[in-house]
Amino acid sequence: MELSERKYDLTEGVVWQRVLMFAMPILFGILLQSLYTTVDAIIIGRFAGKEALAAIESVYTLTKLPVNFFVGISSGATIIISQYFGAKKMEKLSNACHTAIIFALIGGFVLSIIAIFISPFFINLLKVPKGIYDDALIYVIIFFSGMAASMTYNIGAGIFRAVGNSKTPFYFLIIANIINIALDLLFIAVFDLGVVGAGLATVISQFLCAILVVISLIRTELPCKIYLRKIRLHKLHVEEFIKLGLPVGIQSTLYPISNMIIQTRINSFGINSIAAWAVCGKLDFLVWYISDAFCTTISTFVAQNYGAQKYDRATKGVRVGAIISLLLVSLVSCILYIWNVPLGRLLIEDSDVIAITSEIMHFLAPLYVLYVLGAVLPGAIRGTGESVKPMFITLFGSCFSRILWILFVVPFHPTLMMVLSCYPVSWAITSLLYLIFYSNVSVKPNPHFN
């Protein structure tokens, strides 16, 4: 193995060091993304007003719907590539990378067209208030127009991470977020474009990220190097991607659907509640990002070691990643519980919105730790090539339980806090189910890599 490959090989070296070395760029990317999300909300809230902030937040779950579906499917590609890298099957790895790129580009264009076409229906379904309906629709259409770029970047970043390189995608994220913030200020603060400016800034930065990641894949000397003349769909790998990724895609699609139902109930409490929930979302995103980062880290670590048939090492990596993520989320929870008011005032100065935000944070912050295992352990399981059972666990624990709560519990006490209670309840159920499932299964040899 060449030096460049050994540098990113997660099948060798001290486990906790490899996990941290791989996770840190992703975590820094999370911090950067969280900072951008916060700054974006500050710019929109300060220069465009709470109506614009509420318009974007009211359709946030809708914007995640098609994106999550394709990212879920493309995660199958990342895991397959990781397993090939661990098994040192470089020819199959190369073919899978070339297939993944064109798969992302085509899939992104198709989903973009479909998403734009069905947007009005779903916005009506969300019962977005009339005062912010037009802004919400415009933002969604602009956002979905950049999906091909978003998908290309995500799959490109996934390819780099699959071979153990989490630094390169982080560098591109830095550049894109700086440009996004600059464009936000230009379009919103200077040109007064409101939600249109926010949408344009996002799409432009996505295209930049996509271009950068493709150029880097063409220039890299790692086994994932892309040759333009070799880009085509290989039937074998498309089938592998879909077989492993489709359950994740279905899960990722139904997940925001349940959140859309919840958002519909939140929308019924008025603009102040919508804006407060938006502020909470900008404050606690770090919780989800940390969990997602270690889910990605553990998934890649397990996949590489699974391909290399180092099953004990894979299990140790899962323990290390889970413990670190629990500690980090606990720290964030403490900060949000204590300083939610001053942090909230950075986003918006409306006293009514801040009061609701503080109430929500005091309720949810101590309970965020319940979410971690339910987010991290699925990555470990999918890293072995199993994605169907995690799909059913997540659908029941995090989707159906929330819908049942909204339909059968909330009517007895229809308040905002009762609606939001569905989240910690679902976190606890999902984490418990995954802990039981993971504790009772063992990593078995995969004949595909023998």
- Give the amino acid at 384: T
pLDDT 10s digits, 45-72: 778 877 888 888 777 777 777 777 777 7
**Residue, of 356 and 75, whose pLDDT is higher:** 356
User: How far is 331 from 177, CA to CA, in rounded Å?
Assistant: 25
The position carrying tokens 């909230």 is 344
pLDDT number for residue 416 = 92
Q: Please count the helices (runs of H) and the strands (runs of E) in the chain.
A: 18, 0
| CA distances (Å), origin 140, targets 38, 110, 276, 286 | 19, 16, 21, 24
The pair of structure tokens assigned to 300 is 């890649």
DSSP string across 7-47: HT-TTSS-HHHHHHHHHHHHHHHHHHHHHHHHHHHHHIIII
Of the candidates 114, 177, 110, 175, which has an alpha carbon nearest to the alpha carbon of residue 148?
110
Q: How many CA atoms lie within 13 A of 343 on its CB side?
A: 20
Tell me the per-residue pLDDT of 386-403, one tens digit each, with 9 for 90 and over. 888 888 998 899 889 999
Q: Which among 253, 244, 259 is positioned nearest to 65, based on CA atoms?
A: 253
Residue 26 in any domain: the answer is: yes
Say yes or no to pLDDT of 240 above 60: yes
**Number of structural domains found in the chain:** 1
Q: Amino acid identity, residue 399?
A: C
Position with higher pLDDT, 434 vs 241: 434
Quick check: 214 and 227 in contact, CB under 8 A? no
Average pLDDT over every residue of 152-176: 88
Q: How confident is the model at residue 3 (pLDDT cuts 50, 70, 90)?
A: very low
pLDDT of residue 101: 92
Q: Is residue 58 part of a domain?
A: yes
Tens digit of each residue's pLDDT (9 = 90 or more) over 114-154? 888 888 888 887 778 888 888 888 888 998 898 889 889 88
271 located within any domain: yes
Residue 49 gets the label, from left (phi > 0), alpha (psi -120 to 50) or beta, of: left
pLDDT digit string, tens, across residues 183-217: 988 998 888 888 888 889 888 988 998 999 999 99
Residue 5 included in any domain: no
Q: Is residue 56 part of a domain?
A: yes
Closest listed residue to residue 82, CA positions, set 297, 242, 289: 297
Residue 275 included in any domain: yes
Of 265, 259, 414, 275, the C-alpha closest to 356 is 275
Instruction: For residues 265-282, give the mean pLDDT.
Output: 88
Average pLDDT, whole number, for the chain?
Answer: 86
Question: In whole angstroms, how far apart are CA 1 and each of 15, 90, 165, 280?
Answer: 19, 11, 16, 47
Residue where the block lists tokens 């409490």: 269
For the beta carbon of residue 287, count every other beta carbon within 10 angstroms.
Answer: 23
* Structural domain includes residue 181: yes
By C-alpha distance, which of 378, 312, 439 is closest to 75?
Answer: 378
Q: What is the pLDDT of residues 19-48, one digit of tens each?
A: 888 888 888 877 776 666 667 777 887 788
Is 323 among the domain residues? yes
For the record, the structure tokens of 332 come out as: 């964030």
The set of long-range contacts for 357-360, using a CB threshold of 8 Å and a minimum separation of 24, is 357/276, 357/279, 357/280, 357/283, 359/417, 360/276, 360/277, 360/280, 360/416, 360/417, 360/420
Sign of torsion over alpha carbons 34, 36, 37, 41: positive
**How far apart are alpha carbons 258 and 246 in whole angstroms?**
18
Are 86 and 307 within 8 A, CB to CB? yes
By residue range, what is the domain housing residue 162? Answer: 11-445
Whole-number pLDDT of residue 242: 85
Residues 6+ apart with CB under 8 A from 331: none
